[in-house]
């Protein structure tokens, strides 16, 4: 196979530059033996998106390596200096997860920032992403970086940037950092000569402050005291959660915690799973087996950087099942609001936030209790933006999204699986105090608010061709939206890129008051909702399906749930996804 001249030119630019010899040898090997890999590695620059970088590790412009990380960091340093100038010493906190090269990339970022005169607070060992968010505010930093690819496969790593409120970048800083990063067109422009005098190692002090702050968010210490022996199985899936989740559960008062030992040691190769994603049953098999053996009350799992949580419970037949992200979010929201009500803490100035692709059950729960709710685009940076806008005016109770990320209180400004694990265990204790299981509590919610069934279908399209195929799919849905799906008319189409909703029945349009985003939603006449969006972090296009029916009583749950399952599958098949 011949090598595209443009790709060869990009590769040779690296070969002729000042990169290390090992990287040069890797490029030569691809030129001689693997032109396909050479093309994937050099056909474009690894994009510095609104959240930072994420990509496969390796040599090349389209890979996570010392040079792409260095260039991104130089761009960030230049932007921070343009914003703050000489007014004050700029401070940046840096954390990293268990992935291969994470500590190395964190050190590279520290060296580039310090070489630019910026004071760095670097965690001495791996830590959860939410602790980085906490540290930014606790240490009065201007920015933060965490090296992680969240729950992506082991080949990936990433680089997320935070602003001074501990949240991921939002306008105008996201676009402005991208502009500065794009100005760094060569690693020759990067100052890699770090100043160790400006790099401070942090760790236990931040752990203690984080755990103490988190413990203040408990809502039912008396209930926990009565159910401190709640049997909990926990797995960090080889990730950072092991550093804080067990400590957090104990600090809340739980003392019967069983850790999946085979998955307790941090390991970027994730040897016991194909993918370290608590959304996937395969990643939870060991925890499920342990729970069955112990007859546990609750299963908790966290992803590699401990910002997402997976939850397992017993169903009505005593079998262990995994809750989906919408169910977990709804249970957490219901519990938080009910406790705030019981304690007389609702004053009319409280609010919750969810994303547009997350279950409407959450907004229904909030509305019934008179709690204001906000819908935002996918991504916790938008949830954090609402918190920032309302700071000092209203109180944030909690929020979340269907992709297994949740936040309780505002001491962290990103999804936090540590506090979510603790509050969810408290919720399980609250249910036990009422003589019911979490699953029964979920069904009772369905009786009160309606039975919601949500499904997610991911269509993976990797590499150069995959990127083009995903774009073509979105273009086609946008220019030729379906008029009916599975025999049901499409009543409305919401296009978040064009920022308008079109009522196909009335023939009217209304504006969408949210930032532009490549998302489409189809609302069927029967109330079903289908959302379509390319993933911002993985090579896939995501389809979200939500349908609803009334549930007269708990005894009808199985039959009604089976009906909705069938209906959801009919819609998925009709869209050509099965």
pLDDT of residue 50: 67
Question: Does 340 have pLDDT greater than 70?
Answer: yes
Instruction: Report the range of poorest mean pLDDT among 14-23, 124-133, 253-262.
Output: 14-23
173 plus 241 within the same structural domain = no
Share of the chain above pLDDT 90, in %: 90
Percent of the chain with pLDDT over 70: 100
Query: Is pLDDT at 1 greater than 70 in this prediction?
Result: no
Contacts 24+ apart (CB under 8 A), 545-549: 545/454, 545/455, 545/456, 545/457, 545/571, 545/572, 546/359, 546/360, 546/452, 546/453, 546/454, 547/452, 547/453, 547/571, 548/360, 548/450, 548/451, 548/452, 548/453, 549/450, 549/451
pLDDT in tens, 67-126: 999 999 999 999 999 999 877 899 999 999 999 999 999 999 999 999 999 999 999 999
Token pair recorded at residue 280:
């996937």
Check whether residue 405 and residue 485 sit in a common domain: no
Residue 88's pLDDT is 85
Domain of 253, CATH number, reads: 3.40.120.10
Residue 450 CB neighbours (<10 A): 15
> What's the mean per-residue pLDDT of the chain?
95
Q: Which of 23, 110, 114, 150 is catalytic?
A: 150
Lowest mean pLDDT: which of 131-145, 159-173, 456-470?
456-470
Per-residue DSSP letter, 524: E
Average pLDDT for 274-295: 96
Indicate if the pLDDT at residue 538 is higher than 90: no
Q: Do residues 283 and 224 both lie within one domain?
A: yes
pLDDT tens track for 180-197: 988 998 889 999 999 999
Q: Among 78, 145, 79, which Cα is nearest to 115's?
A: 78
Full-model pTM: 0.94
Identify the pLDDT of residue 343: 95
- The b/e string for 157-184 (b: 16+ C-beta within 10 A; e otherwise) is bbbbbbbbbbbbbbeebbeebbebbeeb
What pLDDT sits at residue 49? Answer: 75
User: Please, which pLDDT band fits residue 2 given cuts at 50, 70 and 90?
Assistant: confident
Whether 119 and 219 share a structural domain: no
Q: Sign of dihedral through CA atoms 378, 354, 565, 290?
A: positive
Beta bridge partners of 156: 56
Is the Cα dihedral 542, 397, 343, 225 positive or negative? positive
How many residues are recorded in the chain? 578
- 27, pLDDT greater than 80: yes
Confidence of residue 543 (pLDDT cuts 50, 70, 90): very high
**Residue 75 shares a structural domain with residue 161:** yes
Choosing from 170, 202, 234, the residue where a domain stops is: 202
* Together in a domain, 427 and 355: yes
For the chain, what is the domain count? 4
Per-residue pLDDT band for 382 (boundaries 50, 70, 90) equals very high
First to last CA, the chain: 34
Tens digits of per-residue pLDDT, 44-71? Answer: 888 887 678 999 999 999 999 999 999 9
Structural domain for 322, as ranges: 210-449
φ and ψ of 176, to 5 deg: -70, -40
| Same domain, residue pair 293 and 370 | yes
Domain boundary among 406, 428, 449: 449
Annotation marks residue 110 as catalytic: no
Q: Centre a 10 Å sphere on the Cβ of residue 221 and count the other Cβ atoms it contains.
A: 11
DSSP state string for 6-26? HHHHHHHHHHTTT--HHHHHH
83 and 183: one domain?
A: yes
- CB-based burial label for 266 (10 Å; 0-12, 13-18, 19+): buried
* Residue in this structure with the two tokens 């993933």, named with its chain if needed: 535
CB contact set of 94 (below 8 Å; sequence gap of 6+): 106, 109, 110, 113, 120, 121, 122, 123, 132, 144, 145, 146, 147
The pLDDT confidence band at residue 464, using thresholds 50, 70 and 90, is confident
- Same domain, yes or no: 413 and 530: no
Is the domain of 290 the same as that of 410? yes
How many whole angstroms separate alpha carbon 426 and alpha carbon 480?
48
HSE toward the beta carbon, residue 559, CA cutoff 13 A: 7
Pairing, β 320-322 against β 350-355: unpaired
Mean pLDDT along residues 19-44:
93
Q: Could you tell me the CA-to-CA distances from 232 to 236, 265, 425 in Å, in that order? A: 13, 19, 8
User: Residue 199: which pLDDT band, with cuts at 50, 70 and 90?
Assistant: very high
Candidates 340, 502, 308, 310; CA nearest to 417 is: 308
Phi, psi at residue 168, to the nearest 5°? -65, 160
- Residue where a domain stops, chosen among 449, 468, 494: 449
Assess whether 158 and 97 both reside in one domain: yes
Residue 150 and residue 223 share a domain: no
Average the pLDDT over 473-498 and give the result: 94
Q: Is the pLDDT of residue 467 over 90?
A: no
Q: 533: domain CATH number?
A: 3.30.310
Residue 243 has φ and ψ, to the nearest 5°, of: -75, -25
């Amino acid at each position: 196979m011949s090598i595209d001249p443009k790709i060869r030119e990009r590769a040779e630019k690296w070969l002729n530059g000042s990169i290390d010899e090992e990287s040069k040898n890797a490029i030569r090997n691809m030129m001689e033996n693997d032109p396909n890999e050479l093309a994937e590695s050099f056909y474009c620059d690894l994009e510095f998106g609104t959240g930072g970088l994420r990509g496969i590790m390796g040599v090349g412009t389209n890979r996570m390596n010392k040079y792409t990380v260095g260039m991104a960091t130089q761009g960030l340093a230049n932007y921070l200096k343009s914003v703050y100038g000489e007014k004050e010493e700029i401070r940046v906190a840096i954390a990293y997860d268990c992935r291969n090269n994470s500590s190395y990339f964190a050190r590279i970022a520290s060296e580039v920032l310090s070489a630019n005169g910026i004071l760095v607070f670097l965690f001495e060992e791996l830590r959860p992403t939410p602790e980085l968010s906490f540290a930014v505010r606790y240490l009065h930093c201007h920015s933060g970086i965490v090296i992680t690819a969240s729950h992506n496969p082991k080949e990936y790593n990433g680089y997320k940037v935070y602003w001074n409120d501990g949240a991921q970048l939002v306008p105008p800083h996201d676009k402005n950092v991208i502009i500065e990063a794009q100005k760094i067109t060569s690693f020759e422009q990067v100052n890699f000569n770090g100043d160790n005098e400006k790099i401070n190692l942090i760790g236990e002090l931040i752990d203690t402050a984080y755990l103490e702050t988190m413990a203040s968010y408990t809502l039912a210490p008396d209930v926990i005291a009565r159910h401190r022996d709640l049997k909990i199985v926990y797995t960090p899936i080889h990730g950072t959660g092991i550093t804080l989740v067990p400590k957090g559960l104990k600090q809340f008062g739980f003392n019967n915690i069983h850790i999946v030992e085979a998955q307790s040691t941090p390991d970027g190769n994730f040897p016991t799973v194909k993918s370290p994603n608590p959304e996937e049953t395969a990643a939870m098999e060991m925890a499920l087996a342990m729970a069955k053996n112990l007859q546990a009350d609750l299963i908790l799992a966290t992803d590699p950087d401990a910002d997402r949580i997976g939850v397992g419970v017993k169903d009505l037949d005593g079998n262990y099942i995994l809750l989906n992200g919408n169910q977990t979010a709804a249970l957490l929201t219901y519990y938080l609001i009910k406790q705030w009500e019981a304690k007389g803490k609702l004053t009319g100035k409280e609010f919750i936030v969810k994303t547009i692709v997350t279950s409407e059950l959450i907004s229904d729960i909030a509305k019934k209790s008179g709690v204001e709710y906000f819908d935002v685009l996918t991504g916790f940076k938008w949830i954090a933006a609402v918190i920032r806008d309302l700071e000092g005016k209203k109180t944030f109770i909690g929020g979340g999204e269907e992709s297994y990320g949740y936040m309780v209180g505002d001491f962290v400004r990103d999804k936090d699986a540590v506090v979510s694990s603790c509050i969810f265990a408290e919720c399980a204790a609250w249910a036990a105090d009422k003589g019911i299981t979490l699953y029964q509590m979920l069904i009772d919610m369905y009786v009160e608010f309606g039975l919601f069934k949500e499904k997610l279908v991911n269509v993976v399209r990797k590499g150069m061709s995959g990127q083009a195929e995903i774009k073509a799919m979105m273009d086609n849905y946008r220019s030729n939206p379906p008029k009916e799906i599975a025999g049901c008319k499409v009543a409305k189409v919401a296009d978040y890129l064009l920022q308008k909703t079109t009522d196909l029945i009335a023939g009217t349009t209304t504006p969408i008051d949210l930032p532009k985003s490549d998302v489409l939603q189809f609302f069927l006449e029967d109330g079903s909702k289908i959302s379509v969006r390319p993933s911002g972090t993985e090579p896939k296009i995501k389809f979200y399906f939500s349908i609803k029916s009334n549930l007269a009583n708990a005894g009808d749950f199985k039959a009604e749930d089976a009906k909705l399952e069938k209906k959801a599958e009919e819609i998925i098949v009709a869209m050509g996804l099965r």
